[in-house]
Structure 1
């Protein structure tokens, strides 16, 4: 790291050269918190969710508000710029700067008080909105504004941006929720501010000091610019651009707190906020109106808004097509009314009938309009929630269209008076087409005239950037001509600040400069944003090329043009990976435990982006900063399905490890657990002896130390007989040549009952039962874990498949998918291992025989990782043929019923099943078998293959389990089975020390057969 960094400011005394090492030491001495000037931390905070990149000087994560104030004091003493940061989800560039970044989101997020009667709360600035609303739910309250970034955005960030969201239709912007703010100025003034009538003003002046000077200067500014503000500020609910000087007017109560809302950290640091909370509507209903196009839908907005809905959203046909391409079977999308533009209108009520009646009244009113909506319907609650989630995920859905160019922020939230929205959209559409941006979607908060939509900008070339600038300037003039606001939600930041004179005029913009100078005369608070801004085409992250991008990779990256560099820059920064635990989902387990930006999918993506850029992280694949950030990635693949743009950090991690350790000594765990299939094959010769060595107290500690395994972990025991050996022992014959005789697989057509007893056959039972083989052949693939550790699961699967009428074939030799080598980044070996298995299974796949996988992580390799790692026709064919047990029963035996049914279960869905395979078929099969199942939405179990075994990961692994799985296991009723198809999940469940054991779906289904393989109830294990 260079010891000196120059950070020029504009229109203020330039800062002296910053002695970075001295600054770091002073911060470490003065701040109770985490002071980080390392390359990895700076890389993680170099961008937000915008198009801009500015590498910070350093990062401070204070443990208290006082500690954060101390950090500002140190920066003031060294004349260093400061950026106060929340969730980092800003879209206009206001959350990245060449400054000391203070991240409040990890430790300073307490909801300090709730006044239920007065509906007031006091909350720290780092509190995440969803966490606050979760706590307020018990009181029947919530924060009014709810932007789509609600899982990650903080209260302080919402105040900085003057956030809105769909709920602003009913509850207004964040400024309307703010009652008072506790602020800290760069020069050290810390005080609560709010409405300032004459009496309060007199009291402050009598007290004297710097606070009195601030208030006096603010009042002078108000008096000087009063008429200008009244005449030049748009009369618009969604005016987010500029400073809120209108809140200083006498008719608005002279509210300094609300004047500071939306200032994007350029004036003060917000420490605490007193907010007005709102009651949660007891019931909701959703009406969806279809129109011939989005312009006609916009024309109808005033008539719809007259019915005072809670929210009035819109999306066009392009957004619909993108959503259908991503989720073709989504019933909420399938059942949309006819049209090419839709309004989503949400009503509230004291009960469901009242909410529905309000929606129906609105629809009756619109039926008399010309043109009337093509159709309207009320969805059920599940469909309503799904459709609302779709609308909130618009940014991610639109970012990477399956056809067409990648889209970007840049002009994404302008607002105009709703009564002029239709005309504006027609003019705006013509402007887009003229500049070559015609293929982008239009959607947004139409009830307040706010329009969203990313654009297919070319931000990589000079000509493309020049086109973007010309478009932005014309678009600003167009919005101003309609009496609108350049920003109706996302703020000005760097993307729009340069254009503010086109909207407000030079006089108002000069007043903004005076306002900033009152609070921040040296321009050290988030400089270059809003006032004295950097140009909109400066600091563009896309403008740089990636000299460190590898020419050759192991994975193919089919969704990223075959480029790792494109994959590394795929993240758009929405922060969905920074979820709260109670929100469920899989992504991102290590972040939920550590609350560290570097341990979020976004943070890791930022480091990979900086790695291929080669400016901040200069050692490429050898980077220890990237390695350390990826170390706590559990490779759960939750991001692959839950990230709005499908970042696949597990794949990126494997690729990185492959290059990082190329021709180098690896961690010992890569050799012990990464080569597990080999060790398992060797152990099969004497499993009892191996188990004795690995479980004797003294020897066990030695083995774990040598293998790099956490001392607190119990090593799994090898089975006395492998599943493949058991299956051969049943007295089977090989398949005929036409069916793949070259494989030499065994067939269960004449075998005895499970357990090897000759002379009996498990036949189908129930309505669709039949002789074994009546439904055709299947290959039951014995993965490493089933084969060597849990062969009883394979035995149960044979019983179930035969009972359902299938002819079961099992390869007589172990066929590995290469998972353990993939997860440890030994991709050359993984390719060879995978290729061997593909060759062995190819005859069956070509014959159309399904390959049934029992272990979700291994099955997911055949379905997903395999074709991307070994892109051959045979591998792709095997991916098509590979199914789970539930999928096979659902698709090939939908009418089969067992002899007996019933029971209860709690299901922990394996991460890779959630991300790649899905659980819908399992739900359907469990329902058919009468097993009432509670599916946990508790996130990753924390074991994640080798992760939970590796030394140095145990604490995080256990903390992940304590976030959801272990409490659920402890709370499970004695008569509830613990369903867990994944070997890792079952291992973690056993580690809970409750005496409960996880069971595979095959085991649960086998207990319902007339001749089950064992006689244990659902709640025990074999």
Structure 2
């Protein structure tokens, strides 16, 4: 099927209706869904006809039957992280992740399991951990890639050094063809083949034709397939050879949904290795590192990765994983050598053997042996973040996939890298911002992103010419176009360079056996679309470029187009549970919906720019599809720090809402929640707090108030009897400290609802030797107007506030923020909204958290604390996680004897106005139930629940069965024994 033949059928309404009637699942042909699924993690874009989310694998088979009757193409999708374009097509897309994610069975003795295609790798391994087993292949996208997608791509990952590719770890597959033939397949000896052939059914016909294909092309396959560990390109015709057991499952692994649909898989498992060590070895250049690979392989590492310092430098500029960089040895490039074994002695022996072979020892400046698992985890994060982190590096050209996973024999890797770098120079892709080189060096696989110009006709032509040259280069080295990510569209057209004509002919014959009508993921591998067609960008991309923006988008050169195009699709936002200190993306974690992930929302914003002739979102800022996708964004800012390319969806949402509701009425909740600071000030001046509390304390009146305000039926926070500012006016400054004067910011939530937090903070800061002042008047950072997209008002409020703080700022004084979300406005949003305004910049640089004041600005601080320790579980506010971090908090709590356990709980779910807005209560509570509420219920009665965020404390108070969250200021005030005590 050619590129020009990929068209959406005219009668999609009838197709949709037939699918709805026949399929137990969700059928979505709306513009928003089609936009969200229009691309994967590649350079390519094809808008699907519609998306089916089956509730069972049998329902998925039913969907294929409907499509067959209608004669429309089908493509399966797992995590959607494919880099070669195999997960984008003008087809009915079947998304297996939401429902078809079961671990069907485990046979511990045989070390096998049966899984459904939508199960996420990390979820699978979490469930297998109780048996001491795991699935061996582990791509960098392991938190969100699925077994079905891994089977489709023949995925590998770093652990393939020990366990091989997916094709090496599959026992059997349950598959269905486009014509409805369903069968289990695997290795097939002569006896099993005879039994199948004897049946005389459609399955036997497939097997007979496969046998004839094998016999006709056997010698061509043996001669034409490179004998390397990472040959992923092309179909696995070698699995059909007699010496490989006529393994039909092995044949179908890596076929990228072009031959069959995988419904279930029986997989091999391996024991978890309890003892590990990571050895980092430094080199002058990355190609010299590659030269040592054959020597190190002899010591039997479970992973052997290479990376250059450019990757590390790029991640440093992006603010990623900076804590891990201090543990690196000397060098401009590194080998990461992971050893694992049943005993520590075996690990130590392997490390010693490797270093001896290299004439090195542990004390060499170029060697770092890291036995601490936490340090090793951080360094693996550096490595695994590579493809995303190198995409948009400040000061560098944007880089793109396209030649990101070539593979050669490991003993020729150094020479290949030298020639590849020469090719970069010849095509103008080198220089000071040359592409980083890294990858699975132990198996000869190289990852890189290249600064292709995919915006102009000349740039696209150059892109194509480079790919042809690079394909020739890797073929001359006896290598593979793809060593991990598959062919799809990125390499399908180039297969004729790598493989002899007879082998390419065999690919076509194989396709005809399984899919004679060309309806399974057409245009990929066989009869492929050209590598420069269906580009997501390309010379024909003419997006609308909004100019009336509120935010500055410094990470996107001031352009909303660049911001909307920032997502590279690696899907880290699609983690199914919070883990490893990650916050994003809470709404995806509880809904499992692509459009409610950071990536899905980014795709809709990109499509909203309407730069394609087949665009599905054409009404720009007024788009209801984009509005609905952003509706469940909690504005938690988790993506700002957790996303490898720092997508900042909270900012994009605020910008969108501002334009979407310009010159028309907003939802009532926007007025009620957005104007809360002003409402609170009015209530305070009129001394109506007690009356409001009395009214909202009665269930009937509270429900009436929330209904009138267009809010969810949630507990309404109570106004304090006396505000922090009122307390301060009566008390004033009692202690003149020797360290200078700090301004305690009276944010709306601390000031009017929880002033006890502010009073505790004053006590702590004065005890530390600071003179404290609290400004009077109705001041606000503008947070609530920002989060509801009322940005014009937010700008006015911020400018007024900054002018009130000007004298203190220009004197160099620090401002201490207690509410993390308001502190984050000063540290981030203010400059983004107001630009490089002199006072806004000072505000960003001079605003600190309480912990930062004590740890970073109070030298010699050594408080007199109570004896013993106190245990606490910590719910980190998502804005603190994203903007300020918790480095200082950890240190301060250690100093005062607080034994803190930080929860992997993500966002609390209330998220300021989010949990109060209509339709959000279920998602809000589900977020809290992910980890936060279970952890509180399991905590002992004496364990403190630390929650600096007002939203977090409000959520806990409503849902945690009488437990309350406390601010760090309160815990410190309890622990510190002052001179007055």
Give the TM-score range, shorter chain: over 0.9
Task: Give the aligned partner of residue 805 of structure 1.
Answer: 769
Return the offset for 1:582. Answer: 5.3
* 1:665-715 Cα distance to aligned partner (Å, 9 max, x none): 00000010110001100111221011122222322121110111212x111
Q: Does 1:260 align with 2:255?
A: no
| Aligned 1:854-1003 pairs, distance under 5 A | 854-871=818-835, 872-901=837-866, 902-1003=869-970
Task: Give the aligned partner of residue 520 of structure 1.
Answer: 515
What's the secondary structure of 2:486's corresponding residue? coil
779-788 or 352-361: which moved more?
A: 352-361
Q: C-alpha distance in 2, partners of 1:262/1:508? A: 16
What's the secondary structure of 1:562's corresponding residue? coil
Return the offset for 1:330. Answer: 3.0
Return the offset for 1:428. Answer: 0.9
Q: Does 1:597 align with 2:594?
A: yes
Return the offset for 1:89. Answer: 0.3
36-45 or 811-820: which moved more?
A: 811-820
Task: Give the aligned partner of residue 216 of structure 1.
Answer: 208
Task: Give the aligned partner of residue 43 of structure 1.
Answer: 35
Q: C-alpha distance in 2, partners of 1:613/1:432? A: 33
Q: Of the candidates 686, 689, 696, which is equivalent to residue 687 of structure 1? A: 689
Task: Give the aligned partner of residue 192 of structure 1.
Answer: 184
542-551 or 439-448: which moved more?
A: 542-551
Unaligned 5+ runs, structure 1: 1-8, 733-747, 752-760, 762-771, 1016-1022
Q: Of the candidates 87, 93, 103, which is equivalent to residue 85 of structure 2? A: 93
Task: Give the aligned partner of residue 233 of structure 1.
Answer: 225
Return the offset for 1:874. Answer: 0.7
What's the secondary structure of 1:224's corresponding residue? helix
Return the offset for 1:542. Answer: 1.3
664-673 or 806-815: which moved more?
A: 806-815
Conserved? CA contact 1:779–1:849, under 8 Å? yes
Q: C-alpha distance in 2, partners of 1:292/1:804? A: 48
Conserved? CA contact 2:320–2:644, under 8 Å? no
From the superposition, tell whether residues 698 and 990 of structure 1 become closer, same or farther in structure 2 (CA, over 3 Å).
same
Q: C-alpha distance in 2, partners of 1:294/1:697? A: 67
Task: Give the aligned partner of residue 579 of structure 2.
Answer: 583
Return the offset for 1:926. Answer: 0.5
What's the secondary structure of 1:673's corresponding residue? helix
Task: Give the aligned partner of residue 751 of structure 2.
Answer: 787
Q: C-alpha distance in 2, partners of 1:574/1:397? A: 10
* 1:592-614 Cα distance to aligned partner (Å, 9 max, x none): 00000000000000000000125
Conserved? CA contact 2:230–2:483, under 8 Å? yes
* 1:356-391 Cα distance to aligned partner (Å, 9 max, x none): 33112211210179xx98611112322111111110
Q: C-alpha distance in 2, partners of 1:356/1:719? A: 61
Task: Give the aligned partner of residue 754 of structure 1.
Answer: none
What's the secondary structure of 1:999's corresponding residue? coil
| Aligned 1:712-861 pairs, distance under 5 A | 713-730=714-731, 732=732, 748=733, 751=734, 772-861=736-825
Q: C-alpha distance in 1, partners of 2:321/2:726? A: 41
TM-score by length of 2: 0.97
From the superposition, tell whether residues 345 and 701 of structure 1 become closer, same or farther in structure 2 (CA, over 3 Å).
same
Task: Give the aligned partner of residue 555 of structure 1.
Answer: 551
Return the offset for 1:536. Answer: 0.2
Q: Does 1:502 align with 2:497?
A: yes
Q: Of the candidates 380, 398, 404, which is equivalent to residue 396 of structure 2? A: 404
196-205 or 622-631: which moved more?
A: 196-205
What's the secondary structure of 2:671's corresponding residue? helix
Task: Give the aligned partner of residue 53 of structure 2.
Answer: 61
Q: C-alpha distance in 1, partners of 2:922/2:859? A: 44
What's the secondary structure of 2:144's corresponding residue? coil
Q: Of the candidates 417, 439, 444, which is equivalent to residue 425 of structure 1? A: 417
Task: Give the aligned partner of residue 742 of structure 1.
Answer: none
From the superposition, tell whether residues 16 and 883 of structure 1 become closer, same or farther in structure 2 (CA, over 3 Å).
closer
From the superposition, tell whether residues 161 and 64 of structure 1 become closer, same or farther in structure 2 (CA, over 3 Å).
same
Task: Give the aligned partner of residue 566 of structure 1.
Answer: 562
Conserved? CA contact 1:169–1:311, under 8 Å? yes
* 1:234-264 Cα distance to aligned partner (Å, 9 max, x none): 0111000000000000000000000000000
What's the secondary structure of 2:674's corresponding residue? coil
* 1:479-510 Cα distance to aligned partner (Å, 9 max, x none): 01010000000100000110001110211111
What's the secondary structure of 2:573's corresponding residue? coil
From the superposition, tell whether residues 16 and 949 of structure 1 become closer, same or farther in structure 2 (CA, over 3 Å).
closer
Conserved? CA contact 1:12–1:521, under 8 Å? no
Conserved? CA contact 2:578–2:906, under 8 Å? no
Q: Of the candidates 101, 110, 114, which is equivalent to residue 122 of structure 1? A: 114
* 1:158-179 Cα distance to aligned partner (Å, 9 max, x none): 0000000000011000000011
* 1:562-585 Cα distance to aligned partner (Å, 9 max, x none): 001110110000010010215252
Q: C-alpha distance in 2, partners of 1:12/1:394? A: 35
What's the secondary structure of 2:695's corresponding residue? helix
Return the offset for 1:904. Answer: 1.6
Q: C-alpha distance in 1, partners of 2:56/2:50? A: 18
Q: C-alpha distance in 2, partners of 1:114/1:537? A: 44
647-656 or 333-342: which moved more?
A: 333-342
* 1:933-990 Cα distance to aligned partner (Å, 9 max, x none): 1111111100000111112100110011111111111111111111100000000100
Q: C-alpha distance in 1, partners of 2:17/2:268? A: 41
What's the secondary structure of 1:68's corresponding residue? helix
Q: C-alpha distance in 2, partners of 1:967/1:820? A: 29
Return the offset for 1:1011. Answer: 5.2
377-386 or 595-604: which moved more?
A: 377-386
Task: Give the aligned partner of residue 444 of structure 1.
Answer: 439
What's the secondary structure of 2:26's corresponding residue? strand
From the superposition, tell whether residues 368 and 704 of structure 1 become closer, same or farther in structure 2 (CA, over 3 Å).
closer
Task: Give the aligned partner of residue 698 of structure 2.
Answer: 696
Conserved? CA contact 2:3–2:523, under 8 Å? no
Q: C-alpha distance in 1, partners of 2:700/2:214? A: 78
Conserved? CA contact 1:13–1:522, under 8 Å? no
Return the offset for 1:15. Answer: 8.9
TM-score by length of 1: 0.93
Return the offset for 1:11. Answer: 11
From the superposition, tell whether residues 940 and 292 of structure 1 become closer, same or farther in structure 2 (CA, over 3 Å).
same
Q: C-alpha distance in 1, partners of 2:399/2:447? A: 12
* 1:438-480 Cα distance to aligned partner (Å, 9 max, x none): 1111000000000010000001111101111111101000101
Conserved? CA contact 2:896–2:976, under 8 Å? no
Task: Give the aligned partner of residue 634 of structure 2.
Answer: 634
Return the offset for 1:552. Answer: 1.7
Conserved? CA contact 1:366–1:373, under 8 Å? no
Q: C-alpha distance in 1, partners of 2:174/2:163? A: 23
From the superposition, tell whether residues 626 and 15 of structure 1 become closer, same or farther in structure 2 (CA, over 3 Å).
closer
Q: C-alpha distance in 2, partners of 1:993/1:915? A: 25
Q: C-alpha distance in 2, partners of 1:258/1:42? A: 32
Task: Give the aligned partner of residue 757 of structure 1.
Answer: none
* 1:16-46 Cα distance to aligned partner (Å, 9 max, x none): 9441010000000000100000000000000
544-553 or 434-443: which moved more?
A: 544-553
From the superposition, tell whether residues 900 and 373 of structure 1 become closer, same or farther in structure 2 (CA, over 3 Å).
closer
Q: C-alpha distance in 1, partners of 2:8/2:293? A: 54
Return the offset for 1:102. Answer: 0.3
What's the secondary structure of 1:138's corresponding residue? helix
Conserved? CA contact 2:318–2:393, under 8 Å? no
Q: C-alpha distance in 2, partners of 1:173/1:679? A: 61
Q: C-alpha distance in 2, partners of 1:14/1:100? A: 12
From the superposition, tell whether residues 374 and 483 of structure 1 become closer, same or farther in structure 2 (CA, over 3 Å).
farther
Task: Give the aligned partner of residue 377 of structure 1.
Answer: 368
Return the offset for 1:910. Answer: 0.3
